[in-house]
Chains A and B, each alone.
Chain A
Amino acid sequence: MLFARPKALRDNGVLGMNKRNIDYIGRYNPRKYYKRVDDKLTTKQLALANDIAVPALIGTVSQQHEIVHIPEMVDNRSGFVIKPSQGSGGKGILVITKVANGHYYKANGNEVTPSEIDRHISNILSGLFSLGGKPDVAIVEGLIKFDPVFDGYSFEGVPDIRLIVFKGFPVMGMLRLSTAASDGKANLHQGAVGVGLDIATGQGLHAVQFDRPIERHPDTDRKLTDILVPHWDTLLHTASKAYEMSELGYLGTDMVLDQELGPLLLELNARPGLAIQIANSQGILPRLQHVEQMRNKFMSVEERVAYAKTHFSNRPNT
């Protein structure tokens, strides 16, 4: 059968795009706070003010003439990342993993010439990657030394952890692993693998690529459900804290694990995608409704994390 019956999806609590937009994003995310998540520079500054760890900020470029300072800015660094402050959907992120004799290389070994970097930043500044073509700022960040725990699970890219935080409760999580098909990017629609994670433990549950279930990583052939994400409690706390920081009720938090610095908040998303349900093989709606029914009870970050761990675990045996 090519199409599922709507009733079957409803019974399993699957959240659709229209319902997400109207009943969750529209109702719980006030427009005026969008800037806090849509502008990565603002997110970074807010996170630092709230004691949330983020990747090191090397510098920003906001004017065309500042582009020439890039080589001195990244001097002595083994790698760096250039991203648009207001980019969406992972667009416009350039990751340089190796710098050798003034030559820059991407993770797949291809060289990026300085003029290509100039053009990329110029594109960022003119707003090519931002919504509505608004003029933008380029952020230069330190390269994340990602935790070797995911070696063999990710192909040429940083695996990141996406947690959906609803009114401060981490309700669903997934690990996103880049593949050859996704060109080292961790966006599911570009072909990255999504692994659903148990909220209680960080244990892999189920995996998908291109919205279809898979067992093993397509490039490295490792069994994906064997993954156990370390620093899980810190990740849950960081995500939960992002609620107070952003004041957005329905929030997607993207985090990475750095070898030395531990969990770092990469970015926040006010319109997190729905593929996380496929990665968890479970609809998100029952958990969202569960939180909605707990009216106006104030809970601290610790209480919320503890509550989520007991109520939103989806271990098959519980």
Chain B
Amino acid sequence: MHSRKPFYIVVALLFLAGVAASVYRGIEHNVPFLPGKQVQSWAVDAKVSFQAMGEPAEVTFSLPSDPAFEILVENATSPGYGLTIAEDEMGRHATWSIRNAIGQQDLYYKVTLVPTGNNQVIALQEPQPPLPYSWPATEQAAAEQIMDEVWSRSATNLSFAQQLNKSFNATDRSQNIELLLSGNTPADLFIQMLNSKGIAAQKVNALFLEDQRRRQQLTTFVEVYHQGEWVLFNPANGTQGRPDNLLIWDRKGKSTLDVVGGVNSQVNFSMLQDTRSALATSIDMLKNKDALDFSLYQLPLEEQSLFKGILLIPIGVLMVVFLRVIIGIKTSGTFMPVLIALAFIQTTLLTGLIGFLLIVAFGLMIRSYLSELNLLLISRISAVIIVVIGIIGLFTLISYKFGLSEGLTITFFPMIILAWTIERMSILWEEEGAKEVLVQGGGSLFVATLAYLAMSATWVQHWVFNFLGIHLVILAVVLLMGQYTGYKLLELRRFRPLAGE
């Protein structure tokens, strides 16, 4: 007897690969594990306006780059302007340019963002140690006094920044701080003090996302480097860390908007919250990234809907294997129930069952006449197929005349399969009587119904199409069941007389 170890290793590998692929898809590509899940998205409009002076104008506007938000769609409207969106060491930015403009100019940038839940800002590389700030003579003494005092109360770079932030916003601020803040913004002062102590820090412009707000401005934050991560501070109000609804717009510390050839430039933001399907969102994002991942969404729509049906077959097959190997139900034709179940998906269960029984009953009647004609098998089957088509046509027509739209779906039944079912049932009837026909026919319909129930569950349909890894898991389970040597459930009943004493 050869070892079954390699077999179990293969099964385990298939299983793990399937689970891993599914989990990867769910977590990395944000494909929702449950159908119908909604995610929130933010539509942010930035309106850049300035007064042009009748000469060539160039507007450079920073675009958001924030790990906490993923860009779904972005576009810029600016009639008459040339537009470039580029990325360089200063971050992503849009540049509008025009040869000649005069008067009030309005440029729009729209972006749809989806929160990723990834609120940390990881530093890609350690920043250069900053150059110490050279304080003006009037401020130096005060600044050093504050820094020394805070330094003595702190242990690390981070706690220095925290203490500094606190003393900026204390209710009873020292006179030194009042003096310094009268000549500097809190953010500038905060950065200067950190830099003087050799701590890397930079200015960040961010936008608070609030539903249905208009004419919003960017807020200035400071991020401080601490152990591979940038920690966000707001020295203007003494808070630390980032709120969930904060969008970091611009991190490079330079101005968000640069206008050459215009005056009175300003930028206003308006925003709107929206919910959309999590699935559609993740598909759009995959398309944006041009990630040619193993996804069926790259196929044309027609093939997609075809595959939505095909990929249900493994579920039906799994059901049949389970019911035959573990439970022990008899069916007529091994996979006939799966095909019937596929037809049920189109017709719905009740209509399907009634339609199936009507067709088979009519078919059996016609078949009993054909059996008296003494025909060859091939021509008899062919005759039954033609008759089945006739029956389907007749039922469709009748139900149409009576206004029963459900009846029209009867055409989804696979005709060849029906013809063979009728032929087998008819032989079974002649040989083993009506009872066996009921047992096997009923068994087939029972299996078909269970397969239908499994295949029509929305979450099953969601999983088989969006998580292709699940098919590897099904394959592993089917292989495993192929090795099952235990009793079938119905055998426990059958062999009951042997269990006694």
Contact = CB atoms under 8 A, between A and B. Distances in A.
Interface of A: 1-6, 8-9, 12, 14, 16-19, 22-23, 27, 64, 91, 115, 118-119, 122-123, 126-128, 133, 190, 208, 211-213, 274, 277-278, 281-283
12 contacts: A3-B489, A4-B495, A6-B487, A8-B500, A9-B491, A9-B498, A14-B499, A16-B487, A16-B495, A18-B488, A126-B377, A282-B498
B485 A213 contact: no
A190 B432 contact: yes
Given A4-B498, A9-B498, A213-B497, A16 B377 contact: no
B499 A4 contact: yes
B374 interface: yes
A237 to B, nearest CB: 29
A19 B485 contact: yes
B499 A16 contact: no
Interface string B421-434: 00000010001100
A208 B497 contact: yes
A122 B374 contact: yes
A127 B499 contact: no
B77 interface: no
A6 B492 contact: yes
B314 interface: no
A4 B493 contact: yes
Contact of A16 (B378, B431, B486, B497): B486
Nearest to B428: A91
A17 B377 contact: no
A9 B427 CA distance: 35
B486 A12 contact: no
B258 to A, nearest CB: 76
B498 A18 contact: no
Interface of B: 1, 325, 328, 371, 374, 376-378, 427, 431-432, 483-489, 491-500
A119 B372 CA distance: 9
A278 B495 CA distance: 7
Contacts of A8: 499-500
A5 B492 CA distance: 7
Listed from nearest, the 7 A-B pairs whose CB atoms lie closest are: A126-B377, A4-B499, A8-B499, A19-B485, A16-B487, A3-B492, A119-B374
B498 A6 contact: no
Nearest to B326: A18
A65 B328 CA distance: 43
B485 A12 contact: no
Contact of B498 (A14, A122, A127, A190): A14
A309 B89 CA distance: 93
A14 B483 contact: no
Contact of B377 (A1, A19, A22, A128): A128
A3 B493 contact: yes
Nearest to A116: B374
A310 B377 CA distance: 51
B497 A9 contact: no
B499 A12 contact: yes
Given A3-B489, A6-B487, A12 B498 contact: yes
B342 to A, nearest CB: 23
A92 B371 CA distance: 15
Contacts of B371: 119
B374 A115 contact: yes
Contacts of A91: 431
B492 A18 contact: no
B489 to A, nearest CB: 7
B377 A123 contact: yes
B298 to A, nearest CB: 39
Contact of B491 (A1, A16, A133): A16
B321 to A, nearest CB: 12
A58 B89 CA distance: 96
Contact of A18 (B427, B486, B494): B486
Given A12-B498, A14-B499, A17-B328, 7 more contacts: A2-B493, A2-B496, A5-B492, A6-B487, A9-B491, A14-B498, A118-B374
B456 to A, nearest CB: 29
A151 B304 CA distance: 68
Contact of A127 (B377, B491, B497): B377
Contacts of A278: 494-495, 497-498
Contacts of A211: 494, 497
Contact of B483 (A1, A22, A119): A22
A17 B499 contact: no
Contacts of A3: 489, 492-493, 496
A2 B328 CA distance: 15
B415 to A, nearest CB: 18
Could you say which of A8, A16, A213, A282 has the most chain B C-beta atoms within 10 Å of its C-beta? A16
Nearest to A127: B377
A157 to B, nearest CB: 15
Contacts of A283: 498
Contacts of A282: 498
B378 A126 contact: yes
Contacts of A128: 377, 427
Contacts of A277: 495, 498
Most chain A CB atoms below 10 A, which of B377, B497, B498: B498
B124 to A, nearest CB: 57
Given A18-B485, A208-B497, A278-B497, A4 B492 contact: yes
A94 to B, nearest CB: 11
A9 B501 CA distance: 11
Given A17-B328, A127-B377, A190-B432, A9 B485 contact: no
A27 B2 CA distance: 10
A18 B497 contact: no
A118 B486 CA distance: 45
A2 B486 CA distance: 18
A11 B489 CA distance: 17
